[in-house]
Amino acid sequence: MATLLSKAQIGYDYAQYDLGFGGNINRVYGDAETIRSTPSAHISFTYNYTPYVNYVVEAQGGILEGGDVNSMSGRYFRNVYKAIVFRGQLQAGELIRYSDSKFFNGLKNLYVSAGFGYIMNSMHAINRQSYVITDYVTPGEDKSNELFLPIRLGYEFKFFNQYDEPSFKVDIGGTYNHDFGDGLDGFKAGTSKDNFIQYGITLKFAIGGVTSYRKKVSY
């Protein structure tokens, strides 16, 4: 009887926890005229309330860079940053019926995500003085700590083990991060806050706490 019940759950079971490792390409939209692409790395822990409702804690570290000393303002910065992020994530599979449609089955792993983050900025290189405009200097701070709002759109490719449990995932997506401060680039200029966009990939590994979902996960 126990064997029959176990077999009946094949395709419905999933791990409640994932450990993830990945990287991002970052682009800052702040007070420096030139936009540059820079790398960062992250490690994450995910609690899967269901296969499609997830809560993610992520630690990041990397570089934010932009500007050009030969531009009109002369602004250039290189920020070696650290950040901690918490996001709630909702995948389409929680809301749609996907068992009878290949299209919706493919769509079920599309997700939206939002939360909050805390970033620690440290300028390892910065130029505040213009070499084009005489006596023009942009004020700012070399170090700051700020809150930001991450909004992410992505897709999670799920790979299943012999028990039809999603044991490995590849998460790709883009994140818009709205900074509530003005210190990402080390400059205080204008009235708008700094923002940065990240394009990232995360490899996630199931690490236990297997439970069952109300719908079959694998099709």
Q: What is the pTM of this model?
A: 0.91
- Residue 51 phi/psi, 5-degree rounding, is -60, -20
Q: CATH assignment of 13-211?
A: 2.40.160.20
Distance, in Å, from the CA atom of 182 to the CA atom of 10, rounded to the nearest integer, reads 51
86 beta partners:
57, 116
Mean pLDDT of 118-127: 98
63-112 per-position pLDDT tens digit: 999 999 999 999 999 999 999 999 999 999 999 999 889 999 999 999 99
Residue 155 has pLDDT above 90, yes or no: yes
Return the pLDDT at 2: 44
pLDDT of residue 6: 47
Q: What is the pLDDT of residue 218?
A: 85
In order, the DSSP letters of 31-77 are S-SSB-EEEEEEEEEEEEEETTEEEEEEEEEEEEEEE-TTSSS--EE
- Of the chain, the percentage scoring pLDDT greater than 70 comes to 96
pLDDT averaged over the chain?
A: 94
Residues 44-73, mean pLDDT to the nearest whole number: 97
Whether 9 shows a pLDDT value over 80: the answer reads: no
